Amino acid sequence: MPPARPADGTPPSARPRRGIATVCLSGTLEDKLGAAAAAGFDGIEVFEPDLIASPWSPAELATRCADLGLSIDLYQPFRDLDSIDPARFAANLRRAERKFDVMGALGVDTVLVCSSVAPDAVADVDQLAEQLSTAAARAELRGLRIAYEALAWGRHVSTWDASWDAVRRADAAALGLCLDSFHVLSRGGDPSGFAAVPGEKVFFLQLADAPQLTMDVLQWSRHHRLFPGQGAFDLPGFLGAVLATGYRGPLSLEVFNDVYRQSDPARTAVDAMRSLQWLEEALALVDPAAGLRPPPAAPELSGWSFTELAVDGVSGPQVGEALTALGFTHAGQHRSKPVQLWEQGAARVLLNASVVRPGAPGEAAVSALGLESSDPGRSAVRAEAMSAPVLPRTRGAAEAELSAVAAPDGTEVFFTRTGPDGWPADFLPTGAPAAPGAGLTGIDHVALTQPFDAFDEAGLFYRAVLGLEPQQVTELAAPFGLVRTRAVTGPDRAVRLTLSASSLRRGGWAPRVPEPQYLAFATDDVVATAERLRAAGAPLLRLPENYADDLDARFDLPADLLAAVREHGLMYEEDAQGACLHLATEVLGDRLFVMVVQRLGGYDGYGNADAPVRMTAHRRQRRAPAVSAVPPVGSARIERTDVS
């Protein structure tokens, strides 16, 4: 049956056609087609190795695509066509004729021909143009076209300019360009030069983003491409330059990535679709003349309404005891669910004993984020338009109508408005007297560990769905390997979220804080807060004396502040805009802890320089008395990620 219309609801006739190369997705060709159709793609590029490994004949594949509502837009790749050896070139033409037969059965009219990397590749541009023209003439007799692409590592043609020079000299009706954003931008190509190319000579467009890396371009391409909006390339500028030529073909993704090759293709396809939705919006905002219709803009997010923790009969009392020591009051009980409301100032924490999430007994975990939206209804519409469907929810009588979507790691994100008639009305007062508090004024940020294969996906989710901008990715030398981390923030920093991930490890040397998360509360005076917390018996994390000695050497802190650092386990960090004082609790419920943060001046960071010291202290706190540092011979198991 045909796929459902994409979540943005826009009919295909009102937007560019969206395509994806089968190489972007893992699994069999059957898996890939099903995932692409379910995500709402209009067409596919058939990656030749996928067809070769398929039990379907080309005609059967064409029928299957038609049944799914997918067009076949490109057959690719045809490699090493040109040759200085006449016999080799003749053999390549024979090979091309056989591929033209395949294309006829597939019902696709365009084949991608890559610039040659072979030792016998043609260096002379006029000879190359002649050979391309010969191949194009044969394609034209079949009603087919050749889209010529400059591989960034091509032997003699490695830039789009060089590929256009050859195509222009060939002057063949069935020969045009394939413009690939990775091959152009990885070589520092200037898309403004596309203006010299007639639109009818741009036969195909392939899109990929990538992080900015300094490495061999072939390895960069084969392992590290990303979907648009996940990397460092200016994809809106690139796409705008292509559309300015008059190109009106598919916006097609071609992404080689080690993670995508192993991930659930259905999930990857949704991530891919979201990247095109984001890209179309980004271009529409900077270039209205492009004629793209953006979805509803993301409403302003003015702050945190709550953070919800999933707890059980073991972790719930432990976390509740810690919240009491942190100065929170158990102020409300949900009307119909086993959910507690804890408050201190504008900081609100929900303890939910009804959420079923994977994990060990006694574990506490962040299960939901409540974000203050200027228009919760429009936030939900925006999410749907960015392939994030609103989750079904049961609502009791007289309870607030709330919309939530699921982030890639399973965390639910609620769009809320706090007020007398908003979500707090779902909680009945407990009558508990308000605690004096510890000076916590609200939530500064929330930190979530991501599954390794969801790190880039999560960044795009928060960017496209919520309008939060991803900040630069940094790496930390953690006690158990490198950790990647990035923040996603609103423009005024009212909402800050940090996402972290590390590679999987093998062996029995297991960390003691798996997949950690933390809530960071703001305070105007962290020293005074620390004194209150210590007096209340809060489980503050102890740091080694060496840390304070190093701070003294690096920053020459005032004596009273340095004494507070030693006494309370405070951490201190500076950046170009200001400084930060912060502290951490011990781990609660297996993986959760609390931070308290005081920002000084315009400090905009997250204490990353101190993170390895904190991680080591948490490891020491959690270390079991009898941990074998050497696993038994032959043992091998995947351990959960430790990026605390």
User: Per-residue confidence at 291, pLDDT binned at 50, 70, 90?
Assistant: confident
Mean pLDDT along residues 305-331:
95
What is the rounded distance in angstroms from the CA atom of residue 574 to the CA atom of residue 556? Answer: 12
Q: Is the dihedral of CA 625, 626, 630, 631 positive or negative?
A: negative
Nearest Cα neighbor of 561 from 586, 585, 583, 533 is: 583
User: Per-residue confidence at 9, pLDDT binned at 50, 70, 90?
Assistant: low
User: Per-residue confidence at 285, pLDDT binned at 50, 70, 90?
Assistant: confident
Instruction: Give me the pLDDT at residue 510, please.
Output: 52
More confidently predicted of 626 and 544: 544
Instruction: Give me the pLDDT at residue 451, please.
Output: 86
**Tens digits of per-residue pLDDT, 387-421?**
999 999 877 777 788 999 999 999 999 999 887 77
Tell me the CA distances in angstroms from 255 to 26, 150, 181, 208, one per residue in order.
Answer: 12, 16, 10, 6
User: Per-residue confidence at 604, pLDDT binned at 50, 70, 90?
Assistant: very high
Residue with tokens 């076949």: 72
What is the rounded distance in angstroms from the CA atom of residue 595 to the CA atom of residue 259? Answer: 32
Question: 467 and 297 in contact (C-beta within 8 Å)?
Answer: yes
Residue 5 has pLDDT above 70, yes or no: no
Question: 158 and 115 in contact (C-beta within 8 Å)?
Answer: yes
Between CA 53 and CA 61, with CA 56 as vertex, the angle to 5 degrees is 110
Long-range contacts of 472-480 (CB under 8 A, 24+ apart): 473/211, 474/608, 476/608, 476/611, 476/612, 477/612, 478/502, 478/611, 478/612, 478/615, 478/642, 478/643, 479/511, 479/612, 479/615, 479/616, 479/619, 479/642, 480/505, 480/511, 480/615, 480/619, 480/642
Q: Residue 401, class by beta-carbon neighbours within 10 Å (0-12 exposed, 13-18 middle, 19+ buried)?
A: exposed
Instruction: Give me the pLDDT at residue 590, please.
Output: 84
User: Per-residue confidence at 638, pLDDT binned at 50, 70, 90?
Assistant: very low
Q: Is the dihedral of CA 63, 68, 72, 78 positive or negative?
A: negative
Question: 203 and 245 in contact (C-beta within 8 Å)?
Answer: no
**Tens digits of per-residue pLDDT, 222-273?**
777 999 999 999 999 999 999 999 999 999 999 998 888 888 999 999 999 9
Q: How big is the chain, counted in residues?
A: 644
Residue 3 has pLDDT above 60, yes or no: no
Ordered DSSP codes for 312-345: -TTHHHHHHHHHHHTT-EEEEEESSSSEEEEEET
Helix pair 526-535, 559-568: axis angle to 10 deg: 40
Q: Which structure tokens are listed for 166? A: 């050859």
Mean pLDDT along residues 463-481:
90
pTM: 0.90
Mean pLDDT along residues 313-330:
95
Tell me the CA distances in angstroms from 401 to 215, 299, 414, 425, 572, one per residue in order.
Answer: 51, 18, 11, 11, 42
Tell me the CA distances in angstroms from 577 to 45, 108, 599, one per residue in order.
Answer: 48, 56, 10
Residue 4 has pLDDT above 50, yes or no: no
Expressed in angstroms, the distance from the first to the final Cα of the chain is 46
Mean pLDDT along residues 4-32:
79
Instruction: Give me the pLDDT at residue 58, please.
Output: 98
Residue 639 has pLDDT above 70, yes or no: no
Helix and strand element counts for the chain (H, E): 17, 27
Question: 595 and 443 in contact (C-beta within 8 Å)?
Answer: no
What is the rounded distance in angstroms from the CA atom of residue 531 to the CA atom of residue 442? Answer: 18
Residue 82 has pLDDT above 60, yes or no: yes
More confidently predicted of 356 and 278: 278
Instruction: Give me the pLDDT at residue 573, please.
Output: 95
Instruction: Give me the pLDDT at residue 512, please.
Output: 56
HEC assignment per residue over 286-304: HCHHHCCCCCCCCCCEEEE
Q: Is the peptide bond before 86 cis (omega within 30 degrees of 0)?
A: no
Instruction: Give me the pLDDT at residue 634, please.
Output: 36
Lowest mean pLDDT of 145-154, 219-228, 607-616, name the range.
219-228
What is the rounded distance in angstroms from the CA atom of residue 603 to the CA atom of residue 591? Answer: 27
584, β-bridge pairs: 595
User: Per-residue confidence at 214, pLDDT binned at 50, 70, 90?
Assistant: confident
What is the rounded distance in angstroms from the CA atom of residue 121 to the CA atom of residue 127? Answer: 10
User: Per-residue confidence at 288, pLDDT binned at 50, 70, 90?
Assistant: confident
User: Per-residue confidence at 290, pLDDT binned at 50, 70, 90?
Assistant: confident
**Tens digits of per-residue pLDDT, 412-454?**
999 998 877 789 989 999 999 999 999 999 999 999 999 888 9
SS3 354: coil
What is the rounded distance in angstroms from the CA atom of residue 402 to the CA atom of residue 414? Answer: 7
**Tens digits of per-residue pLDDT, 107-139?**
999 999 999 999 999 999 999 999 999 999 999
Q: How are beta strands 505-506 and 110-114 bridged, if at all? A: unpaired
Distance, CA of 35 to chain centre: 18
Residue 89 has pLDDT above 90, yes or no: yes
Q: Residue 117, class by beta-carbon neighbours within 10 Å (0-12 exposed, 13-18 middle, 19+ buried)?
A: middle
pLDDT-above-90 percentage for the chain? 77
Nearest Cα neighbor of 15 from 463, 385, 464 is: 385
Q: Residue 301, class by beta-carbon neighbours within 10 Å (0-12 exposed, 13-18 middle, 19+ buried)?
A: buried
Q: Which structure tokens are listed for 158? A: 């490695």
Residue 43 has pLDDT above 60, yes or no: yes
Instruction: Give me the pLDDT at residue 253, please.
Output: 98
What is the rounded distance in angstroms from the CA atom of residue 374 to the CA atom of residue 158? Answer: 49
